[in-house]
Amino acid sequence: MGKEGFRRDEIGGKTLGLVGIGNIGKEVAKRATALGMTVLAYDPYVKEAEYVKLVSLDELLAQADYISLHLPKTKESANMIDKAQFEKMKTGVRLINCARGGIVNEDALYEALSSGKVAGAAIDVYAVEPPTEWKLAKLDNVVCSPHIGAQTKEAQGRVAAEVADILIEFAKK
């Protein structure tokens, strides 16, 4: 394959939609802005946030070139991204779910990826964990990995320090 086979899109000048703007979402927004992206965010519990324009979920779905999920799985967020939401998205959108499995309906995602509505997806969380159905992983436009964000040496050091601080505070009581 020649170098043409590696041609991809730049993210500068594109729009990132963040669903959930808690601690991780805020950090993603800061980095995306530094890379030249416009950042939209939807979070019904947040009234203002740096680096983002808060919008409705429908506005985010319609305008974003990339959508990244950063929210817990609750009764409200279960299957939040389903066939109807994929239909509202731009053709060629890319979806990232590193939040929780079950927020995205995997059958609807498979259909959207297969049709080209969604150009690509990166996922590290699944409706059933460990996954029993691997049809998403078999698609060429999907990157799957285990959910291991806290498995770096640095993150493990922070967790150990936090546990030590909690134990020290408990012992003082």
Q: What does the pLDDT look like over 4-22, one tens digit per residue?
A: 766 778 899 999 999 999 9
Q: Is 129 a catalytic residue?
A: yes
CB 61 within 8 A of CB 89: yes
Give every residue of the chain whose pLDDT is below 70, as ranges.
Answer: 1-2, 5-6, 149-150
C-alpha to C-alpha distance for 141 and 150, rounded to whole angstroms: 26
Active-site choice (70, 94, 100, 106)? 100
Q: Is 100 a catalytic residue?
A: yes
Q: Is 70 a catalytic residue?
A: no
The pLDDT value recorded for residue 88 is 98
pLDDT per position as a tens digit, 118-146: 999 999 888 888 878 789 999 999 998 87
C-alpha to C-alpha distance for 28 and 113, rounded to whole angstroms: 24
C-alpha to C-alpha distance for 115 and 139, rounded to whole angstroms: 12
CB 1 within 8 A of CB 22: no
- pTM, full prediction: 0.85
The pLDDT value recorded for residue 128 is 84
The pLDDT value recorded for residue 173 is 79
Active-site choice (50, 87, 129, 162)? 129
